[in-house]
Amino acid sequence: MVKKNSIHTVKITDINNLGYGVCRVEGIVTFVAGAVTDDELEIKLIKVTKNYNVARIERIITASEYRIESECSLFPKCGGCVYRHISYSYEKELKRSYVEAAFHKAGVKAEIAEVTSDNKISGYRNKVQYPVGKNGETGYYRTKTHDIIECENCLLEHPVLHEVKMYISGFIKEKKISCIRHIYLRCAVATGEIMVCIVSEKKDFPELDALCNEVCEKFESVKCFALNINDKDTNVILGEKTFILRGRPYIEDELSGCRFRISPMSFYQVNHSMAELLYSKAARLCQLKEGESFIDLYCGCGTIGLSIAKQAKTAELMGVEIIPDAIENAKANAVLNGIENASFICGDAGDAPLKKCNCVIVDPPRKGLTEKLISQLAEANIQRIVYVSCNPDTLARDCASFVQKGYELSVVYPFDLFPRTGHVENVVFLNRKKG
């Protein structure tokens, strides 16, 4: 049996979605931080178990053709990116393989399309949530810790958000504010509007008014300044109560030919241009015809459903979402876009009234769908289901359940909404078999 701290010469055969190179040492799977497929390395085992090892690179003997120099000085200390050290073309190959492996593991035969990307790998994030330390340090967590690495310029974030974050961070340090937990920012790419949401343990603290006034005066694009209260000992970023201190309770953006109001609690895709490509594919997969109806489960502020309803003008839309603020946004967004044949219900997707309709769209959180909801969709004899997912593993698991209940799936289409990270979005069409 190999021992901890032993040195080995290996060749890396793969990379997983956490960014670890994979090899074997005396037959045991070994994960190597920072390693790239086809690297020849000298490694040191830093963790040895019965089923796997973890190692670090001691020396690169021969570098892989896929290896590149990282553009980010914080990589790999910061846990935000896992693929900064490989070419983007190879990253896309890995993501397609990840989706393929998830479906294979779930026992579902599926054709996996090439990854769709606009090849923009920097400055695409329109939403950021920075943890703030007790001494005012602001940035991102070190990999697998809650230690904050101060980040002066994250390459993923939209440049305008960086400037706002740096100003707020400087204010927090100068005033020695210790109750702020996160700085949460959003920007509307099409309109330029910015949302600032301070997540605090307290509703009132002496410097709050000054912070609000200074930020809104310095940055004219800030149209919403909010305070969210989270005093619980939890890893969840946002608390239940949000107060608007200045401006509107939302910002507005334009996406897929529609204008959307987005509140602090509403879900909205972080990559604007890739979201448009994803929603366009989802609309085509729905195959809606004149006069048909469809249901949008987990509808958020209505982005997918309303963008499709605007194209299929006679289609009737019902959206379901559990977050009240998002439902209010969705209702306002329907009016804003002149879409009269849309209704929205606040509630759990599993409690949705699955009235007779031609198509259902689901876009659940990472945990995927419940078996109860899958059964309800099948029992309601929904003919067409378009499933949008940010987690290939739960998507594949749920598709296996749908297949068992009489559905067949088309091609799985991966979309890279999160370049340089291990995440990949997917959309698939499920069709009820006849007979």
Residue 156 CA to residue 274 CA, distance in Å, equals 14
Residue 71 lies in a domain: no
For residue 422, is pLDDT > 70? yes
> Do 330 and 349 share a structural domain?
yes
Residue 18 lies in a domain: yes
Residue 364 CA to residue 49 CA, distance in Å, equals 35
pLDDT band at 145, cuts 50/70/90? confident
> Do 402 and 278 share a structural domain?
yes
Residue 336 tokens, joined = 């804003």
Residue 63 forms beta bridges with which residues? none
The set of catalytic residues is: 390
Average pLDDT in the chain: 94
Digit-coded pLDDT (tens) for 312-370: 877 899 999 999 999 999 999 999 999 999 999 999 998 888 877 889 999 999 999 99
For residue 29, is pLDDT > 90? yes
pLDDT band at 434, cuts 50/70/90? confident
Q: Describe the strand order of the beta sheet including 293-297 as a list of residue ranges.
A: 342-346, 316-321, 293-297, 359-362, 384-389, 425-432, 407-415
Q: What percent of the chain has pLDDT over 70?
A: 100
The CA-based angle 310-311-315, given to 5 degrees, is 75
β-strand pairing of 384-389 with 359-362: parallel
> Do 380 and 407 share a structural domain?
yes
Task: Return the higher-pLDDT residue of 149 and 435.
Answer: 149
Q: Looking at residue 147, what is its pLDDT?
A: 87
| Coil/strand/helix, residue 343 | strand
> Do 306 and 416 share a structural domain?
yes
Residue 179 lies in a domain: yes
Task: Count the helices and strands in the chain (H runs, E runs).
Answer: 8, 22
Instruction: Give the containing element (helix H, strand E) for 258.
Output: strand 258-262
Residue 103 tokens, joined = 């479906």
> Do 280 and 180 share a structural domain?
no
Q: Looking at residue 142, what is its pLDDT?
A: 84
Listed in sequence order, the residues at least 6 apart from 389 whose beta carbon sits closer than 8 Å to its beta carbon are: 363, 364, 368, 395, 398, 425, 426, 427, 428
Residue 73 lies in a domain: no
pLDDT band at 88, cuts 50/70/90? very high
Q: Looking at residue 435, what is its pLDDT?
A: 60
> Do 260 and 244 share a structural domain?
no
pLDDT band at 290, cuts 50/70/90? confident
Could you list the residue range(s) of the whole structural domain that residue 213 is in? 127-249
Q: Among residues 193, 221, 249, which one ends one of the domains?
A: 249
> Do 99 and 139 share a structural domain?
no
Digit-coded pLDDT (tens) for 100-139: 999 999 999 999 999 999 999 999 999 999 999 988 889 8
Mean pLDDT in residue range 48-73: 96
> Do 365 and 396 share a structural domain?
yes
Residue 82 lies in a domain: no
> Do 260 and 245 share a structural domain?
no
Residue 27 lies in a domain: yes
Q: Among residues 224, 249, 274, which one ends one of the domains?
A: 249
Digit-coded pLDDT (tens) for 202-218: 999 999 999 999 999 99
User: Contacts by 204-211 with C-beta closer than 8 Å and gap 24+?
Assistant: 205/177, 205/179, 207/171, 207/175, 207/177, 208/245, 210/175, 211/168, 211/171, 211/175
For residue 152, is pLDDT > 80? no
For residue 284, is pLDDT > 80? yes
Residue 181 CA to residue 93 CA, distance in Å, equals 37
Number of domains in the chain: 3
Q: Describe the strand order of the beta sheet including 222-229 as a list of residue ranges.
A: 127-131, 180-187, 194-200, 222-229, 241-247
Q: Looking at residue 420, what is its pLDDT?
A: 97
Q: Among residues 217, 249, 281, which one ends one of the domains?
A: 249
Q: Looking at residue 433, what is its pLDDT?
A: 86
The pTM for the full model equals 0.93
Residue 326 lies in a domain: yes
**What's the CATH code of the domain at 36?**
2.40.50.140
**What's the CATH code of the domain at 172?**
2.40.50.1070
> Do 416 and 346 share a structural domain?
yes
Q: Looking at residue 101, what is its pLDDT?
A: 96
Residue 72 lies in a domain: no
Q: Looking at residue 73, what is its pLDDT?
A: 87
> Do 135 and 103 share a structural domain?
no
> Do 262 and 389 share a structural domain?
yes
